[in-house]
A and B are shown apart, each in its own frame.
Chain A
Amino acid sequence: GQQLNQSPQSMFIQEGEDVSMNCTSSSIFNTWLWYKQDPGEGPVLLIALYKAGELTSNGRLTAQFGITRKDSFLNISASIPSDVGIYFCAGQSSSGNTGKLIFGQGTTLQVKP
């Protein structure tokens, strides 16, 4: 079945550093989503991407939908302690009104003050 390869698996960075993570797939997706999950909570949507080549920002976060529609990246600039958490990419391929969302394995981010 479809799989998403998300990397890196974990990152430990200094406050103020920039962060980059990415997802790749062997299949084409129509939608790429990026979520952040804090302990004891559900995933929270950060950025949604709908068109190949689309570059979207949300505050310090920037994400891009790859031209081939098989990859996406998320950048976080000037990291702060509250950026700590697990970041998931997710791809959706169905054009119907409900499509299966395929998740990457997650990137665990730790920020040292």
Chain B
Amino acid sequence: DTEVTQTPKHLVMGMTNKKSLKCEQHMGHRAMYWYKQKAKKPPELMFVYSYEKLSINESVPSRFSPECPNSSLLNLHLHALQPEDSALYLCASSQGSPQGAPSPLHFGNGTRLTVT
């Protein structure tokens, strides 16, 4: 079982809906990430949070809004999405050492999002 938990596992939403994806980790990691993955493609980075502060936004459209309420939780708020936003959304975490020591990312199993 993955130590990064994502809910819901599947989500179907209309283009006018507002929904949120949730991610939780209890490994004491201080860096958390959102990735988007299309079928048969590698994950693409969307956002990085370091010590609960947004440190990287990969020019993601504003209809995706991340939130990091505390060091264990990461949310992705969705509003007015397009059908082409349908994908697997992956959350990941890493230790995020302030000394800069490298640490691998650990991924959740993702939320399969379908926009109709």
Asked if A pairs with B, the answer is: yes
Task: Please list the residues of chain A having a beta carbon within 8 angstroms of any beta carbon in chain B.
Answer: 30-31, 33, 35, 40-45, 48, 50, 86, 88, 90, 92, 95-101, 103-106, 108
Task: Please list the residues of chain B having a beta carbon within 8 angstroms of any beta carbon in chain A.
Answer: 2, 4, 6, 30-31, 40-43, 45, 48, 50, 55-56, 90, 92, 94, 96-100, 102, 104-110, 112
Query: What residue of chain B has the Cβ atom nearest to residue A31's Cβ?
Result: B102
Chain A residues with CB below 8 A from B98, complex form: 97
User: Is B31 touching A103 in the complex (CB atoms < 8 A)?
Assistant: no
Add 14 more A-B contacts to A30-B102, A100-B45, A108-B40 (CB < 8 A): A33-B104, A33-B105, A40-B112, A41-B109, A42-B2, A42-B4, A42-B108, A44-B2, A44-B107, A95-B102, A96-B100, A97-B50, A98-B50, A98-B96
CA distance A102 to B50 in the complex (A): 18
CB contact between A42 and one of B30, B56, B102, B110 (< 8 Å): that residue: B110
CA distance A40 to B6 in the complex (A): 13
Name 26 A/B residue pairs within 8 A (Cβ), A-sorted.
A40-B112, A41-B2, A42-B6, A42-B107, A42-B109, A42-B110, A43-B43, A44-B107, A45-B105, A86-B40, A88-B42, A90-B105, A95-B102, A96-B100, A97-B50, A97-B96, A97-B98, A98-B31, A98-B50, A98-B56, A99-B102, A100-B56, A101-B45, A103-B42, A103-B43, A104-B42
CB of A81, distance to nearest CB on chain B (Å): 21
User: Is B107 touching A98 in the complex (CB atoms < 8 A)?
Assistant: no
Chain A residues with CB below 8 A from B112, complex form: 40
Chain B residues with CB below 8 A from A45, complex form: 104-106
User: Is A31 touching B31 in the complex (CB atoms < 8 A)?
Assistant: no
